Amino acid sequence: MPIISFIATSGIERWAAGALGREAETRACLEEEILDLYGLYRLRLFRYAMSLGLRAQDAEDVVQEVFLVLFRHLEAERSRSNLPGWVFRVTHRFALKRRAKYKAEEFIEGEDRLEFSATTMPTPEDEALFAAQHRRLQRIFLALPETDRLCLQLRAEGLTYRDIAEVLGVSLGSVYNSLTRSLKRMSC
């Protein structure tokens, strides 16, 4: 083998090995970032999917799908701006698609959906007062129109009005009116 061929071949191989090493390192960093985001948002997205009427198993499946799509999104080097809004928007879409696959009687309705957020208080009197207030707010919340409930939940998750409007596909004014109306009912 001529020396020039050997040098050229060795150079290409070293370059290819370096490129593969950088690619593996980049992928490992991306996987770590996805795991961090999963830790931050999994429970919040799970609760949101449950609030859309999914069973716990289906809500967990939706969350898993969202993070798989997020990995592909970031791996393709697409926009990283507003990832919280992005994951809630995708969760919303996936949950509605999943919900559409099932009959209405398979959904968890009413108070059963919200029971996973039980809390305990230090004294029995405090627990009783808290439980009564919780039931009252829960009844008010469940009586709200679906859009108002979703706006309230997304706002409680920390999304901005603009993000909520994008997730639900409504105007910014509708989000403002919905939240104002909902909070007014809750405070009475």
| Domain boundaries defined on the chain | 1-104, 118-188
pLDDT at 119: 44
With CA atoms as reference, report the closest residue to 135 among 146, 143, 123: 143
Instruction: Tell me the C-alpha distance between 32 and 93, whole Å.
Output: 25
SS3 55: coil
Angle at 150 between CA 41 and CA 156, to 5 degrees: 50
The half-sphere exposure of 150 on its side-chain side, counting CA atoms within 13 A, is 23
Select 118-188's CATH number: 1.10.1070.20, 3.40.640.10, 1.10.10.10, 3.30.200.20.
1.10.10.10
Q: Comparing 6-10, 79-83, 131-135, which segment has the lowest mean pLDDT?
A: 6-10
pLDDT in tens, 3-38: 555 445 555 555 555 555 667 777 888 889 989 999
Q: Are 185 and 144 in contact (CB under 8 A)?
A: yes
pLDDT in tens, 159-174: 899 999 999 999 999 9
pLDDT at 101: 79
Whole-model pTM above 0.75? no
Give Rg (Cα) of the chain.
24
Instruction: Tell me the C-alpha distance between 119 and 107, whole Å.
Output: 24
Select 1-104's CATH number: 2.60.40, 1.10.1740, 1.25.40, 3.80.10.
1.10.1740
pLDDT at 15: 52
Q: Which H or E run contains 136?
A: helix 124-143
